[in-house]
Structure 1
């Protein structure tokens, strides 16, 4: 890992909070991700399953976490299983967790080799009545690959058919959505790295640069600041490319007079940042571009103030839609007849702003959080309105990451990243 060590007290607290919500005489098990193959002997870079990471801090393949708060033997209440390391592995793959290092990272005293899992697991399952399986129930999940977790569930159901089954996901959805101060500090670091990348790009962009060259500038700055790179596939969309919401080819040349919509964010210690900025290739907005830009920025600023404890995600989006409708009327993109005759299920503003305004962010870019429950302090949301006008050859999106506060306006983790049009022009022409 490139990132600095994280205080294990975060994971001690996370496990305590999770176990407090488990049924009596129950066990919960969490698996690391697989290393996924590409072809021949090639593999994707390893990405740890976020739930075992959240509960243990272990960022390594072939790891398992077992929680059994009512275990008769105290040493079985928390058990971390890691792959046994040896000199051969050290030479070919580098350092892996020893039992001692596993304790330092996680705060779990009982660290065992993975080869002993079946024997220990059988013993404690005879003392338990319920097992929590960790399934992915995120509202955007679309998983076609069988995971390590899936295989474990299938095997355990076959071996222990008389046990009751429960779901860990609803507990994790709530816990992970509310961030600990340590997590907020890590997310701030991710946002600060993103800021460095953006300032580098403002100094780099000029007519005839290529979108992939801009992507490379971001990646250079991210890597040199201990990030693995992008938290998600970056969007560098010049001109009309910005009107393709998930444009990721990043293979076109940026022309004078065009705008570039950049939706990028650095990861740090597996936590995401998520930023959108739209800048002029030539260093100055046209009058029309500036009108639309300022309209998007006004919607973003007003929407931000609505992220308060007790608000509901669905109602919030309805209110943001009203703000956007007003701005689109002012820009002449909608008229009163469009609004009067709109379909309530697809309001008139959706012609120019067709995506949502906010999502949870944290260990995942689209992080865990139960959308039909009230917003809470220390949840982190993006705010990302946009206006997309294919007929005029540009689209604009602006996005920051906001921490909901007990009182007052949210705290902006991206407060230092330039967003006002004048500042962007000044920096590009300085």
Structure 2
């Protein structure tokens, strides 16, 4: 990994919070992600399963975390299993965590090599009544690939049919949705790296550049600042491409007079940032582009103020819909009849703004969070309204990442990233 060492106090706290919610005489297991094959001997770059990372800080393949707070032997209350490292592995793959280094990273004292897992796991299962399985229950998940966790669950159910089962995910959904100050600092770092990338391309954009040239400029800046790269597949959408919400080809020429919608974010230490900005290829917005841009920016600013403790997700989005409806009326894109005759299940504003305004962000770009429970302090959300007008050849989306505060407006992690029309034009023409 490229990032600097993270304080293990974060992982000690996370484990304690998780174990405090486990049933008596229960044990929880978390597996690292597989390394996924492409073809022949090629594989995709490894990315750690976020839950084992959240609870241990261990960022390498073939790792298992076991939590057993009521273990008769105190040394078995937190146990890590790692792939054994040796000189041969160090030569071919680079150094893996030693037992000593694993303690420095995680704060876990009991560390075994992976080949000892089956024996020790069996012994501990004879001392427990319930096992927590870690399933993916995120509201957007649509995974078809069998994961390491899936295989572990199937094998364990077969081998220990008399044990009770419980779910880790509801506990993790709540814990991970509220960010520790250490996590917020890491997310701020990711946003700061994104800012550097954005400022870099403001000096680079001109008619004739290709969308992928801009993608390359972002990647250059991200890698130079200890980021692995993009937190998600970047969207660099010029002209009418901006009206395709998940446009990722990034292969068209940026033409004079057009706008470019940029939806990009750097990751840092596995934490995501998620930024959207829309800029003019020629360095100046037209009057119409400016009107629509400022309308989107007003919705973003007013929507941000609604993210307060106790607010409910569904009601928040309904309020943002009212803000957007008002702006669309002002722009002449809707008239009063459109609003009076709208379908309540698909309001009139959805013709021009068809996606949600906010999502949790953290270790995942669409991070954990239970949407039917009230918003709480230290949750981190995106705020990303947009207006998409295919008939006028452009779409505009603006997005910041904000931290909900105990009192007052959320704290904007992207407060230093240029967003006002005048500042963007000045930087592009400076």
Q: Shared topology, TM-score over 0.5?
A: yes
2:161 corresponds to which residue? 161
Correspondences of 1:413-428 after superposition (within 5 Å) = 413-428=413-428
Equivalent-residue separation in structure 2 for 1:14 and 1:319 (angstroms): 34
TM-score by length of 2: 1.00
Equivalent-residue separation in structure 2 for 1:375 and 1:207 (angstroms): 43
SS at match of 1:18: helix
2:280 is the counterpart of 1:280: yes
- Give CA deviations for 1:59-114 in whole Å, capped at 9, x if unaligned: 00000000000000001000000000111100000010010011110000001101
2:301 is the counterpart of 1:304: no
Number of equivalenced pairs: 430
**Displacement of 1:407 after TM fit?**
0.3
SS at match of 1:198: helix
2:86 corresponds to which residue? 86
SS at match of 1:242: helix
Correspondences of 1:170-209 after superposition (within 5 Å) = 170-209=170-209
Give ranges in structure 2 of 5+ residues lacking alignment.
Answer: none
Equivalent-residue separation in structure 2 for 1:37 and 1:219 (angstroms): 24
Equivalent-residue separation in structure 1 for 2:412 and 2:95 (angstroms): 37
SS at match of 2:314: helix
Equivalent-residue separation in structure 1 for 2:112 and 2:309 (angstroms): 42
Equivalent-residue separation in structure 2 for 1:194 and 1:351 (angstroms): 30
Equivalent-residue separation in structure 2 for 1:378 and 1:393 (angstroms): 39
- Give CA deviations for 1:95-154 in whole Å, capped at 9, x if unaligned: 100100111100000011010000000001000000000000000000000000000000
Runs (4+) off by over 6 Å: none
TM-score by length of 1: 1.00
Equivalent-residue separation in structure 2 for 1:70 and 1:50 (angstroms): 25
- Give CA deviations for 1:11-56 in whole Å, capped at 9, x if unaligned: 0000000000000000000000000000000000000000000000
2:262 is the counterpart of 1:242: no
Equivalent-residue separation in structure 1 for 2:369 and 2:231 (angstroms): 18
2:399 corresponds to which residue? 399
Equivalent-residue separation in structure 2 for 1:234 and 1:95 (angstroms): 31
2:145 is the counterpart of 1:145: yes
**Displacement of 1:240 after TM fit?**
0.1
SS at match of 2:245: coil
**Displacement of 1:303 after TM fit?**
0.1
Equivalent-residue separation in structure 2 for 1:243 and 1:389 (angstroms): 7
SS at match of 2:203: helix
1:17 corresponds to which residue? 17
SS at match of 2:236: strand
2:63 corresponds to which residue? 63
Equivalent-residue separation in structure 2 for 1:89 and 1:146 (angstroms): 27
SS at match of 2:112: strand
Equivalent-residue separation in structure 1 for 2:309 and 2:369 (angstroms): 14
